[in-house]
């Protein structure tokens, strides 16, 4: 069993918070939370879909607790469908 420190971390909004005001729909689907033992870091991965008048964009973002930041990842990975 992992130790608990009874702390809460508010995750920053991520890259979608910097999208232009012309965005009509933002779809966010969280896919996972886990521990990266190689980098000694906790991470969150989510899929983003941004629809605007000019273009549609889909990408993945990975949040790192250690750096307290999101990184955009452009790779093709199947989404979890419920």
Domain locations along the chain: 28-73
pLDDT score for 38: 96
Residue 63 pLDDT > 70, yes or no?
A: yes
CB count in 10 Å sphere of residue 64: 15
- The share of the chain scoring above pLDDT 70, in percent, equals 71
Q: Name the band, by pLDDT with cuts 50, 70 and 90, for residue 62.
A: very high
Query: For residue 1, what pLDDT band results from cuts at 50, 70 and 90?
Result: very low
Strand order, beta sheet including 41-52: 23-36, 41-52, 56-64, 69-73
Segment 3-35, tens digit of pLDDT? 567 788 888 887 665 555 655 567 778 888 999
State if pTM tops 0.75. Answer: no
**CB-neighbour burial class of residue 63 (10 A; exposed 0-12, middle 13-18, buried 19+):** buried
């Amino acid at each position: 069993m992992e130790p608990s420190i009874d702390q809460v971390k508010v995750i920053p909004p991520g890259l979608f918070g910097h999208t232009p005001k012309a965005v009509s729909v933002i779809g966010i689907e969280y896919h996972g939370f886990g521990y990266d033992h190689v980098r000694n870091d906790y991470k969150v991965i989510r899929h983003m879909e941004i629809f605007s008048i000019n273009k549609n964009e889909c990408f993945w973002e990975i949040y790192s607790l250690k750096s307290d930041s999101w990184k955009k990842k452009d790779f093709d990975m199947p989404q979890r469908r419920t």
